[in-house]
């Protein structure tokens, strides 16, 4: 019995030791369990851009909340996996979750996955004969814009307008709760400068029907005006218009460009 207890303790220490090699503060992405023998040498999580590949092997970029993990293999843990084995391991896990392969070769693995209402872009790269690889998991989302009434006023006085990234429910004109603080700051702007008059102007990307996009952008601009009226701003100080996809500020052929084109502009009226 004593011998069995000692063996169990050795096994426990060995297991703890394997994970104690992780860089402090780093942990696996919640969607994926790590491969045997690997520890995390580097990690980061922030709003960033992911440079990846489409199905034709062409460069393409996306932006959102990016988790980066650099895994390294402990050669004492056994036989090192091949690049193919690592890519195939993640591919099987992603497909099992309902995702799909976008592009793979012996150096890269690019995948996409929709889970719990969110869209993910996943990439594996920088292999070193199975000893190291890097995992990128991008949660597609627009960055929450932090902006104050003073910043808005400065932009209106300098440029005559300011573009805001106000988020709405997909295909609808309900303002998402994370964008309500921006609406609050527009209210503060209007309350602070009682002489200010504005036009609230909605814009979309080119996805969908042009007529529908124009109606959608108009309803979204009106939703913002209605929210300001509900807070006590005089309706006579505001107007709204929807331009749809008529006035792009970026190339709609890229996701980054589409994100910039989906905007609301506050324009100062003379």
DSSP 8-state secondary structure symbol assigned to residue 264 = E
Q: What is the pTM of this model?
A: 0.52
Residue 186 φ/ψ, nearest 5 degrees: -65, -40
Task: Calculate helix-pair angle for 149-159, 180-192, nearest 10 degrees.
Answer: 70
What are the residues facing 163 on neighbouring strands? Answer: 265
**For residue 64, what pLDDT is reported?**
86
Using CB atoms within 10 Å of the CB of residue 261, give its burial: 0 to 12 exposed, 13 to 18 middle, 19+ buried. Answer: buried
**For residue 142, what pLDDT is reported?**
58
Per-residue pLDDT tens digits of the chain, which is 270 residues long: 333 333 333 333 333 344 448 999 999 999 998 998 999 999 999 888 899 999 999 999 888 899 999 999 988 878 888 999 999 999 999 999 999 999 999 899 999 998 877 899 999 999 887 689 999 999 987 556 678 999 999 999 999 999 998 988 878 899 988 889 999 999 999 999 999 999 999 999 998 899 999 999 999 999 999 999 999 999 999 999 999 999 999 998 877 788 889 999 999 998
**For residue 7, what pLDDT is reported?**
39
Domain residue ranges in the chain: 17-140, 149-268
**For residue 221, what pLDDT is reported?**
98
**For residue 161, what pLDDT is reported?**
96
Contact present, 177 and 241 (Cβ < 8 Å): no
| Number of helical (H) and strand (E) elements in the chain, helices listed first | 6, 10
Highest CATH level, class, for 17-140: alpha beta
The alpha-helical segments, DSSP class H, found in 119-209 are: 149-159, 180-192
**For residue 94, what pLDDT is reported?**
95
Architecture of the domain whose range is 149-268 = 2-Layer Sandwich (3.30)
**For residue 131, what pLDDT is reported?**
82
């Amino acid at each position: 019995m004593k011998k069995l207890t000692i063996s169990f303790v050795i096994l426990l220490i060995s297991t703890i030791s394997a994970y104690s090699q992780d860089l402090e503060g780093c942990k696996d992405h919640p969607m994926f369990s790590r491969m045997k023998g690997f520890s995390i040498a580097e990690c980061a999580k922030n709003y960033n851009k992911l440079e990846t590949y489409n199905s034709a092997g062409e460069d393409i970029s996306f932006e959102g909340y990016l988790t980066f993990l650099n895994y390294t293999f402990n050669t004492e843990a056994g036989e090192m996996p091949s690049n193919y084995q690592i890519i195939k391991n993640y591919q099987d896990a992603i497909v099992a979750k309902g995702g799909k392969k976008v592009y793979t070769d012996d150096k890269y693995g690019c995948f996409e996955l929709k889970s719990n209402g969110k869209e993910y872009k996943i990439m594996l790269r920088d292999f070193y004969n199975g000893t190291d690889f890097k995992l990128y998991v991008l949660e597609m989302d627009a960055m929450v814009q932090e902006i104050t009434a003073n910043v808005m006023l400065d932009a209106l006085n300098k440029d005559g307008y300011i573009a805001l990234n106000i988020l709405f429910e997909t295909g609808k004109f309900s303002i998402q709760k994370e964008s309500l603080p921006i609406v609050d700051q527009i209210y503060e702007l209007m309350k602070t400068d009682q002489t200010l008059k504005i036009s609230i102007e909605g814009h979309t990307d080119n996805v969908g029907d042009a007529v529908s996009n124009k109606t959608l952008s108009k309803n979204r601009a009106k939703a913002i005006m209605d929210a300001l009226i509900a807070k006590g701003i005089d309706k006579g100080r505001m107007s709204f218009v929807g331009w749809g996809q008529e006035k792009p500020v970026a190339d709609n052929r890229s996701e980054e460009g589409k994100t910039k084109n989906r905007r609301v502009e506050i324009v100062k009226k003379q």
